[in-house]
Each structure stands twice: as C-alpha cells, then as structure tokens.
Chain A
Amino acid sequence: MSARTRELLILILVGLITATGFASVYIARQNEISPASLSYAGFFFVLYLIAHVVARVTVPDADSYLLPMAALLTAIGLTEIYRLGPNDALRQGLWVVIGVAAFAGTLIALRHDFRRLESYKYLFGLSALGLLFLPALPKIGHSVNGARLWVRIGSLQFQPGELGKIAMIVFLAAYLHSKQEVLAQGRPKDFGPLLAIWGCAMLVLVATHDLGSALLFFGIFLAILYLATARLLYVGVGLVLFLAGSAGVYETTAHVRDRVTIWLHPWTTQAIPCPGHSILMPRQECASYQLVKSLYSIAAGGFSGTGLGKGTFTLPGGGNLIPDLNTDFIFSALAQELGLVGIAAILLVFMLFTVHGFRIALVAGDGFSKLVCAGLTFGFALQTFIIIGGIVRLIPLTGITLPFISYGGSSVVANFILLAVLMLVSQRANEPA
C-alpha cells in the first residue's frame, strides 16, 4: 500500500469520526440547531479529500499520518466550536478552508526544493518581527484580556504572532545551520544578528504582554540553539537568563505578578481586594474566576464526560460560565464533554503528531531540514504544553491557542503551513533516489 493510499484510508476513518461527532451534537441540541449541521461532516471530508489529492501530486511519498491527524484535530475543534456557538463554527470552517488552501499552496510552491527558503533567512527573520509588531500599531492593533496581540481589519480578526512563530523558526534554523561551525566556537560577533532579531521579538512580546508567546519563542530558541550547536552550556545560560528575566518581569509588571498569584492560590477563603474593582471578594470569584470555573468544567467531565452537546457552559439565566471558552479554554470544554477518556485520546494524537514530526527530523538528509522540522515540532508540542499546562494548573496560565483545535484563524493557517513543511521534508527523505 502506498503512503498516500494509507493516508486516504485513515482520512475516511477520520471522516466517520467527524460525522459521528456532528451527529451526536445534533442529537443533543436538536431544538437549537438544524440537520444542516450534518453537512459540516461532508464538507469537511471533501475539503480534506482535496488536500489529499494535492499531497498525492506534490508529496506522494511523505508521511501518511500527519494529514489525517491534523484533520482529526481540526474536526474535533470545529465540532466543539460548533456545539458552543454555531455561528462561530461557520467562520472557523472558513478558516479551515483558508488553512487547507495555505497547505496546498505551500506544497505546490515548494514542491521542487523547499531548502531554498534557507537563502531568504533574513527576510524570514524580519517578517517575523514585522508580524509580531503589527498588533502594537495604532488603529489596526487590538487588545484582548490585557494582551495586545490581535490585528483587526474590518470584521476580520487575526493574531499575526502565530505566523511570526513559523517565520522565526525558519529564520533560526537557517541562520544556525549556516553558522553552525562558527557558532560552536562561541565567538560573540557571530551571535549578533541572531540575538538582535530574537531579542527584538522577545521585547515586543513582553511589551505587548503576550507572555505565552514569549515563553514559546524562548523555548523554541533554546531548542534550536541546542540542536545546532550541541552546547548544553548555551541552554544553561539561556535558562539562567530566562529565570533572571522572569524575576525582573515579575518584579516590574503587575500583570505577571497577578498571573503567578492566580496560579499558586486560585482559591481564597477570605474576601480580598479584587483588582480593578473596589469591592472585596474571594479570589475565585474575581481574579481567578476563569481558571477556577475552567477547573470545575474539567472536573465535571470525570472519567467518561457528559457527552458531546450535553456539558454545562451557560448559566440558567443565559450568561456564559467560562469566558473565552472556544479559544484559549476549548480544552476545558472538551474535557467536560469527552471526559478523561476523550482528553487522553486527544493528547495521544498530539503525542503521535509530535513523534511523527521528530521522526521526519531524524530521517531528513540535511541539517537545515532537521532544524526546521525539529524546531516546528518542538514548537507545536511546547505550545500545547503552555496552554493546556496553564489550564490544568501545571504552570501559570497564559493565553495562547491550542494547535488545530482552538477557534482562531491565524492559528489554523499557521499550523497548516507547519504541516505542509513537515510533509515536504518527509517527501524529500522518503523519495526513492
């Protein structure tokens, strides 16, 4: 069986799962939504069939599991977004179409040799900075929950940092690959451009309060640096700098102090001053409201969950229990409706995706491909860890999207580009000589 035929079979399986998911949401919420919801599954299947055909033409020998896994994760996300608000699902569906288009476009554009990207490294570095800086611009920039990371043009909202992440990884990989030998000697001047671009990115992120992305960029930087130079010393120095930087930011920024306090002590028994209000209440009803309500939602799922469409996310009066449920907190919605069984399955898919990504990095023939693949895959895993880890209180909560699942266009598009790059590398490594 060829790699693509296997991919098609798995995609059919994913299509069946998707259809079951939409059907169960439809059954559970009949008086709210129409049977037309079932057409989502069909539409979805056709979309991925197109992606499959493009892959068959451009990357016939690439890994056959990545595309179906991405399809499964987007389908799970879309089903849950649909369940939470049918109107958002239409928009998200549109973004998935754009994402698949970006996937196909990337495959077609780079089908001959993606390695020419390496020669445009500074372009990537600068565009990463530009993308990160966009939300800080007046008029189009827009802040949500104290973090200024959105661009709004008309009715279209976009988080350019997600694409900036991909560009930054390509830049880091290309730069470190070309300077691999000299960097290993540790001469400071070779680090100049690297530290300049990366340092600017970190400054922008910290200034815009995008702590989740700052953490992500930092982790990716250290990972690629370690891969390219094999110097654990750099990682050690990086971590020391990170801790020092964190301590500095903690001391100077109230926003960060609040996040850490919420993480350590989400519940208080006594009423305390509520930031931004003049009233006293327990922290779980004020600053840590979102985190605590999300934990209740996760716990309510228990082992097997309430079932799709049957979770409780709204008050009898109509208000939402958890703010930002379909973006940053979609995990807690899924955890309530699918339970531990479902969540573990989803996390296993994330793990499998990660394993396949790293496997491509292992078999890739050249250093640049290895660095890009490993960097992108590590970024994918780290991003998953940062957002879910924040929700389950492993680390302080920072707003960042869950790859492929969260509502949000830029995230979906960026992850499809990531997927395309992984498959391009895989094709080159697997292709018969």
Chain B
Amino acid sequence: MTSAQPQGSRLQGRTAIVTGAGQGVGEGIARRLASEGANVVIAARRAETGDPIAASITAVGGRAACVVTDVTDRTSMANCVATTIEMYGSLEIMVHNAFAGARAHRLEEARIDGTFDDDWTAMSRTSVWGSLYSAQAAFEHLRTAGNRGRLILLTSPSGIEGSANIPLYSPAKAAQRAIAKSLAREWGEYGITVNCIAPVAASPALIRVFKEVDGLQAATAARTPLGRVGDITSDIGSVALFLASDDSSYVTGQTIVCDGGSFLGL
C-alpha cells in the first residue's frame, strides 16, 4: 500500500504531526494516518521532500501540508506546532520519527574506542533532543486533547539489544524508549498515551545500507521469520495508526517491535 487514498475515518477530525515525513518510515506513517481521515503535517527538513508527499496525499482526497521543520531546533519545532494549530485548530497526535546519522555500518568505521563525535551529535540531536523538543512543543495541545492525545516515538530493535556495527545508534534509540516509559507515567494523568515503534522497513536509509554493506540484506532476510522487509505504509504505518487511534487507548509506555519477527528478545 503506498497511496493515501481515504479508506476510513478512524482519525477523522484529528491532526497529526509526523517528523521526518519527507521520506521513508515517516512518509509511510503520514500516508497511513491520512488514509484514516487525519489532517497530517509533513514536518520535513526540506520542502523539496515534504511538499511532494503532502501534494500526493491531497491529490487523492486527504488533508496534508508540509511545514519545514528542523527537529534539532527548539524554536523550529515550536513553530511547526504553532503553524499546525493555525491550519487545523488542534493537535492530537505527535509522531517523532526524524533521524540523521549512523552512516557507519562497517565495524572498522564505528569503533567505540575510536572517534565519532559528528555521528553521535547528529544521532543524539535528531533522536533524543528531537524527542525532547517535539514532546515539549506538543504537550499543551496533547493535554487539551486528553484521552485522544498521543505521542509516538520511532526507535529501533538496536535500541533494545545493542549493536556492534552501529554501536552509538543503539544508545540514542534506547534513550527514546526510556523517555516514552517515563512520559507514560508523567502524562498518564491527562489521558495522553506515549509509545514507541521499533521498525525494520524498506526505507531509503536501509536500502542504502543494504547496497553499502555486502551480505547485510541476505543476513537480514535470513533472520526474519516472515522473510521480507517491512513496507513503510502497510506494515509500519498501520502500527502507528493503531497507536494513534482509540483502539490503543489502554496501551502506554510500550514498544511495539515491528520487524517481521527478527528480534524476539524483548
């Protein structure tokens, strides 16, 4: 499934911001939420990637707009939320997916005992600080939304089990899980739920890594019981839809690993 053609109304009247929705998993989530009636803000760093996604959603009857956003900048994230409220009047769902970094998937380039300052800064600023800024910017509106308020953070199976090849990607993603658990406790009194998705999906980033690292795609397929890599919209977007909808009203502080069963150690 790649279109955002309206299929249902589970999110009718609700507004979602999806960061990093100019491509990959964020794009898939944005399309799936829009297909169920949500107003969707494509929070992308570049209009060149975000505008076409928003246009393709509106072209099939959905409601979407791109707001150029840098999740590593507190003011930019706050402006994104303010613009969203101006356009749609409310914010019920914040999905923080944006991520940059983790270029090194070759062990010799990713030694913990080596140097990695630039990579770490990119990963930390987008994943962890982006979680801080997106949560803070959305908080008052999610509290107003009450039991329809949702914060969803995109983490990774590597954030649970660690990784030799991307050793610092793992702690960045682990931090997001701890933030989700903590905010589930902290914001529960307002009815807001906070959860994580740990996907493995055919995003441009993963496809690029498959091309760069010999044997990785075959190894990934071999350890995946379902024998395929997830689709950004039908597989990952549908999990986000569940977490964004009333169907998940009693689920909070959890991580849903959505990877075809390759990681079973949660």
Whether A and B are associated in the same complex: the answer reads no
- Chain B interface residues (CB < 8 Å from chain A): none
- Chain A interface residues (CB < 8 Å from chain B): none
